[in-house]
Chain A
Amino acid sequence: MSEYLCIKGGRIIDPANDRDEVADLYVKGDKIVGALSESELKEASIVDATGKIVCPGFVDLHTHLREPGDTSKETIGSGTMAAAAGGFTTVVCMPNTKPPADNAGTIQLILDAIERTAVINVLPTGCLTAEREGEKLAPIGSLEKAGVVAVTDGGHCIQNTEIMRRAVEYATMFDLPIFDHCEDASLTDGCVMHEGEWSLKLGLRGMPRAAEDIMVARNAILAEQTGARMHLQHIASASALDVIRWSQKRIEEKQGARLTAEVTPHHLAFTHEHLAGYDTHFKVVPPLRTEDDRQALINGLLDGTIECIATAHAPHTEIQKDHEFDYAPFGMNGLETAFSVCYDVLVKAGHASLNQLIGWMTYKPAAIINRPKGTLSEGSSADFTLIDLEATWEVTEEGFRSLSHNSPWLGQTLPAQVTRTYYRGELVYSLS
């Protein structure tokens, strides 16, 4: 394969550089370049991108790849192929594996698997506490040395505030961002959906917004007081957004600290009403909340309170999801449908521009982990994606690269389709 690549005639959208134009994109080796010489152009592989969007590969800060330990649900190989099919070229994987990624040895195991099987860039996170039990600090310094990009107990919120305070203080010493799933477990014990009209109707135990809001407030206060880089995962509550806004203003005044938040495609697309049929595909945590919450999340993106979109891709086997609602695990697949869903609910619905959407999925998440990703700047890694906005596609089990198919979009037709994904100049996904 040629060392040179010319993506010809596409609409290049690179929000990091405020670029939106029909032009050619050039690649030399594994890097984006401004131009190729005439002799290089003669050798270059030419890809006709007429009518397509050419944008930086997406960056996901919240992916569960399940390896090691749960490889019937997903592996680093299958998960990254799914990511590539969704247009992602960088994913940050959560540490709630079996065993959990709470020591340098496990991180090395994950890095080895990434080296062997990943088709895109995978950045691991390490645990904040040993065994993710929230009781004793994990060796955060060793985890940082081993290569983690953030620390989090991934899916488990530390309930003891003293432990959380110390974990945050300690992690800050290594300039590692802290990711947290905000949930006061004493308010959600035995709960399976959002508390409200639909939980009353369905007779399912409901999680109140307060369970999320309280921990968002706690984490925001700790971020302010410690100067930590705190990132709040999959925010779902309108009132939590109000707390974040209030905190961000205070933190901004103090300088130094940074409080960021993410939202998932499914919280932007669905509400608790979608649980009416007890379909376990919609069972997620934090739960799908009300239409008012959904609208608030969209507004949170638009006004910058929410920094980015993350998938919270949480694969589960069909057998695990095929149960009475109470007994099914939380989580849904998200990598392969993320862009199309967000394009549908944000851009097609008239809330946001395509450039804004691409920004929320590229350089903005990359900035949270302080990595030079999600951009088509000259000299950056040639990670990019081609998208056909006019295409529609049906979500089918057979079409998934992920080992799991726990998607509520199965059988639905979605707009806009990723047609090609390149990582470091190599084609890692092609629709045909």
Chain B
Amino acid sequence: MTKPTPWKRKHLTGIEHLEPGELETIFETAESFKATLTRSNKKLPSLRGSTIVNLFMEPSTRTRIAFEIAATRLSADVITVSGNASSLVKGESLRDTAMNIQALNADMIIIRHSAAGSAKYLSEIIDIPVVNAGDGAHEHPTQALLDAFTMREHLGKDLRGKKVTILGDILFSRVARSNIWALTKLGVDLTLAGPSTLVPKEFEKFGVKVSHKLKPALADADAVMLLRIQHERQTSTHFPSLGEYTSMFGLNQLRAGYLKPDAIIMHPGPINRGVELDSKLADSGRSVILEQVTNGIAIRMAVLYLCGSYKDQKKGKA
């Protein structure tokens, strides 16, 4: 297992460029924060006096709330701005919106945006830390971190050699991309599975396997992660119907039997129950879906804490 390395980053815009040691640093920090989640007094003073702006240009429930809770637990003041309630609907550019938020003395921006690369773009414009909460089909780093964190809890801290399969819409998924970077850095034997239209063979260039057949893809897997089928976008072009998708690629009881007996079932949510995942499996003892949600708070506390400490490092306080 890789040793943790000191955190020196101002922004977290993706997993691709992180070192394995930096992932371990986040996990270790998250472990210590997780221990505080069940205390009666859950607040820590780490970001007291800081103002964090949650700039969510796309709809979100768990990610937005998890970031809000994480920031609040660290004693930061949080303001959430949603896309349809911002000046962007009046035609203001993202640049000007961000410059205004900075001018209002925010200390950090968390951004969710439909355009890939928008978090990086923002990080190049403003001087305060930017945390990516999902940019188009590019990256969703905190989701991948909480996924890997949850795997570590169930499969052991050293994930090298563990077999993990991600099943579903890989092509349009930022979660899949961030997980590819995170899990391959941690030494996981990773397989991407699903229909050929949603899982192009070229993903193999990133050090993963690609399979369009479920039995070999799921055989002896330690964990399977389902991804939401974005049927509002793809039904007409990428697969014939939800019914066909479910019959060919949905995870049901029979197919779950291909997994290792103690394998865990994961999903970043929201779930299309009965489409990519059988509803009973989603609620079964093998499902860790709600644990993922809880771990999302600890991971995001860790990320906010580490990126927030960048400011202190600059001032020589830390």
Using a CB–CB cutoff of 8 Å, the interface residues on chain A facing chain B are: 196-197, 200-205, 277-278, 319, 322-327
Q: Is the CB of A326 within 8 A of B202?
A: no
Counting contact residues on chain B (CB < 8 A from A), the size range is 20 to 34
Q: Is the CB of A278 within 8 A of B136?
A: no
- Give the residue of A196, A203, A277, A319 whose beta carbon is less than 8 angstroms from that of B116: A203
Q: Is the CB of A201 within 8 A of B16?
A: yes
Pick the interface stretch among B22-30, B117-125, B292-300. B117-125
Q: Is the CB of B203 within 8 A of A200?
A: yes
Binary A-proximity of B128-144 (CB < 8 A = 1, otherwise 0): 00000001111100000
Neighbouring B residues of A325 by C-beta, 8 Å: 115-117, 121
Q: Is the CB of A203 within 8 A of B177?
A: yes
Does B113 reach chain A (CB closer than 8 Å)?
yes
- CB A192 to nearest CB in B, in angstroms, measures 9
Binary A-proximity of B163-183 (CB < 8 A = 1, otherwise 0): 000000001001001000000
Q: Is the CB of A203 within 8 A of B94?
A: no
- CB B138 to nearest CB in A, in angstroms, measures 3
- Give the residue of A201, A204, A323 whose beta carbon is less than 8 angstroms from that of B93: A323
- Give the residue of B94, B116, B121, B202 whose beta carbon is less than 8 angstroms from that of A204: B116
- CB A247 to nearest CB in B, in angstroms, measures 29
Q: Is the CB of B139 within 8 A of A277?
A: no
Neighbouring A residues of B139 by C-beta, 8 Å: 203
Q: Is the CB of B116 within 8 A of A200?
A: no
Contact (A324, B115) CB under 8 Å given A200-B203, A201-B177, A277-B120 = yes
Neighbouring A residues of B137 by C-beta, 8 Å: 203-205
| Interface of chain B, main secondary structure | mixed
- CB A320 to nearest CB in B, in angstroms, measures 10
The 8 closest A-B pairs by CB, nearest first: A203-B138, A278-B117, A203-B137, A324-B115, A203-B116, A326-B115, A324-B118, A325-B117
Q: Is the CB of A197 within 8 A of B116?
A: no
Q: Is the CB of A326 within 8 A of B95?
A: no
- CB B99 to nearest CB in A, in angstroms, measures 12
Q: Is the CB of B115 within 8 A of A327?
A: yes
Contact (A326, B203) CB under 8 Å given A202-B138, A203-B138 = no
- CB B247 to nearest CB in A, in angstroms, measures 27
Neighbouring A residues of B203 by C-beta, 8 Å: 200
Neighbouring B residues of A277 by C-beta, 8 Å: 120
* Complex: A201 Cα to B177 Cα, angstroms: 7
* Complex: A77 Cα to B174 Cα, angstroms: 46
Neighbouring A residues of B121 by C-beta, 8 Å: 278, 324-325
Q: Which of B66-117 contact A (CB under 8 A)?
A: 93-95, 113-117
Q: Is the CB of A203 within 8 A of B16?
A: no
